[in-house]
Amino acid sequence: MSRKFFGTDGIRGRVGEAPMTVDFALRLASAAARVLAPQRGCVLIGKDTRLSGYMFESALEAGFVAAGVDVLLMGPLPTPGVAYMTRHFGCNFGVVISASHNPYEDNGIKFFDGSGGKLSDALELQIEAELAAAPVTRASGALGRARRVDDSRAQYQDFCRGTLPAGMNLEGLKIVIDCANGAAYKVAPRTLADLGAEIVPIGCSPNGRNINDGCGSTNLHLLQLTVPGVRADFGVALDGDGDRLMMVDHLGRQVDGDQLLYVLACARKASGTLKGPVVGTQMSNLGLELALRRQGIGFERVAVGDRHVLARLKEAGATLGGETSGHILCLDCTTTGDGLISALQVIAAIRSSGKSLAELAAGMQRFPQVLLNVAVQERFDPMQVASVRRAVEQVSATLGDTGRVLLRASGTEPVVRVMVESSDDKLTRESAEILAESVRSARP
């Protein structure tokens, strides 16, 4: 059975259009309650700063209470904070109302189990199956209760601070923090300030509509101007729900997820705490793989998506992985991708080494990468077409050991994604165009 509503990271869409409607949220809450807390129980709900979050929070609250589930309302809190607080309060499951890095017109709903991990495919399928039934309303004596616990977010801040080495603080550091006008706008600046850093906040004034708007990890322009402008040591950028991290060095240069993984891997190797290989995805830059190899650190690739990274880390008994976009998993610290905790781990590496972020990231040289989306009449696997395979073989032979090719069909639209990396920028672009043309001319 295939999933109709759940994607790779919960349910997401344009507000007011199916499935992101109030009636669907109510039915979803009732269905989730029947699967995840059939004998009463408790759910914790957190959200980002989108205007529509209040509406969906009320709908979910009504559905859960009617089904006999107690509800704890956290208000705005990063997605990883909801995962932690779900464990902290001993809830059966947690819910996040967020569309992550999407614009404010979108919203989404995603779930954590009682351990703070993502739901299995089997549980998501069970919830979808229950959506066909009408929402449950129990008798008055069996209804759940709802209460706000937003003053408990300080416990999440304490948890984040506790991931730093004992006795370490951030005194003497000047940090620009961009929270994308999103869920981390309170906890991230407060956590860094409590540790002694001088904080320059931007993207920390949400109005319900400005989440991810020209700020945050998906748009570093303002951060890149501000960091050298105020002579900060570095800048930290989170996305709308606080699970992704990008950074900027003191010169205003971007340090992306691949470079941050390199910094963290080297720091953990130096301290003797690195376990297993580093896990990236098919889109991780070739420069990361080669830089880790020079350090004697293993590296593995999985399909795109943090869900796949997490699964491989658990299989391999490893603790460090992530994506170029900045979704970094430090399983020796927490159960899910956490932008604030990842930032603290990078800062710990800076403090321990006595080097700047620029110096630490310099060990990994990003290879030029070109990504082209080639529109096709209908989705097909490009590597099953002989003419495309021949083009890939020819380009791969030309690139040699210092290049990489990846062709894959989009899972959501009639597009074939063509990615080429190599040490030569001109050759990379020319090779990508050759492959793109082979896809356009393909006869599947």
Indicate which residues carry an active-site annotation. 100
Of 258, 298, 310, give the one whose Cα is nearest residue 421: 258
Of 60, 134, 69, give the one whose Cα is nearest residue 97: 60
Cite the beta strand spans of 207-285 per DSSP E: 234-238, 245-248, 254-255, 278-281
Cite the beta strand spans of 350-442 per DSSP E: 369-375, 403-409, 415-422
**Residue whose token pair is 């614009």:** 103
Other C-beta atoms lying within 10 Å of the C-beta of residue 1: 8
DSSP 413: S
Distance, first Cα to last Cα, the chain? 27
| Cα–Cα distance measured from residue 110 to residue 95, given in angstroms and rounded to the nearest whole number | 6
| Cα–Cα distance measured from residue 70 to residue 68, given in angstroms and rounded to the nearest whole number | 7
User: What would the two tokens of residue 363 be?
Assistant: 């060990």
- Find the DSSP H helices in 195-250: 221-229
Contacts of 355 (CB under 8 A, 6+ apart): none
| Cα–Cα distance measured from residue 156 to residue 187, given in angstroms and rounded to the nearest whole number | 8
User: What would the two tokens of residue 168 be?
Assistant: 């370490």
Q: Which residues pair with 26 in a beta bridge?
A: none
Letter for the amino acid at 422?
S
Three-state SS at 408: strand
C-alpha radius of gyration, the chain, whole number: 23
User: What would the two tokens of residue 11 be?
Assistant: 């349910």
* Edge-to-edge order in the sheet of strand 234-238: 198-202, 174-178, 234-238, 245-248, 254-255
| Cα–Cα distance measured from residue 68 to residue 48, given in angstroms and rounded to the nearest whole number | 25
CB 366 within 8 A of CB 300: no
| Cα–Cα distance measured from residue 91 to residue 40, given in angstroms and rounded to the nearest whole number | 11
For residue 12, the surrounding DSSP H or E stretch is: strand 11-14
